[in-house]
Amino acid sequence: MQSNFRFLTSRRPGLRGWQAVVGIGFSFAVTMMGTTLPTPLYPLYRASYGFGELTTTVVHAVYAVGVLAALLLFGHWSDQIGRIRMLQAGVLLSALSTPVFLIGEGTGWLLLGRLVSGLSAGIFTGTHAVVPRPPPTRGPS
């Protein structure tokens, strides 16, 4: 009996088997942790920038808007341009959000950082959630 998932063990360069699983899991965990790290700092931002509960809620919501926008707008791109390129875009956006949080001053910068961070999380979630399908079979084997 032939396996329909033979393409997963093809001779492509790069990691295979458990190494690939660990590498993908690690990249996902690091990026997702990076997108949520600023959350405990909100009380400090609130005290520093002087905003209230409503603004804190909006900051949380902007992250969710970024995630949803990435899933809806860019979710299908991994099939067209490749998963590696999409993951690279997610890492780039995650890296771009970090200096926004570090050097940005004011609520507008915080909102921008959360939006970019949400876009990164959405790209990573959408790209990592793709389960590879076996190629179509051509008649009886």
Share of the chain above pLDDT 70, in %: 79
Give 16-29 as a 3 state SS string.
CCHHHHHHHHHHHH
pTM above 0.85, yes or no: no
**Which pLDDT tens digit goes with each residue over 79-102?**
788 888 888 888 899 889 889 888
- Show Cβ contacts of residue 101 under 8 Å, excluding neighbours closer than 6 positions: 38, 41, 109, 110, 113
pLDDT band for position 120 (cuts 50, 70, 90): very high
What sign for the dihedral angle of Cα 114, 100, 74, 88? negative
What does the pLDDT read at residue 58?
93
Give dist(CA 83, CA 80) in Å, integer.
9
What does the pLDDT read at residue 117?
93
Among residues 88, 84, 85, which one has the least CA distance to residue 96? 88
How far CA 70 is from CA of 8, 35, 36, 92, 96, in Å, comes to 27, 14, 16, 14, 16
What does the pLDDT read at residue 136?
60
What does the pLDDT read at residue 7?
43
Higher pLDDT, 74 or 31: 74
Lowest-confidence region among 40-44, 52-56, 58-62, 137-141: 137-141
What does the pLDDT read at residue 35?
78
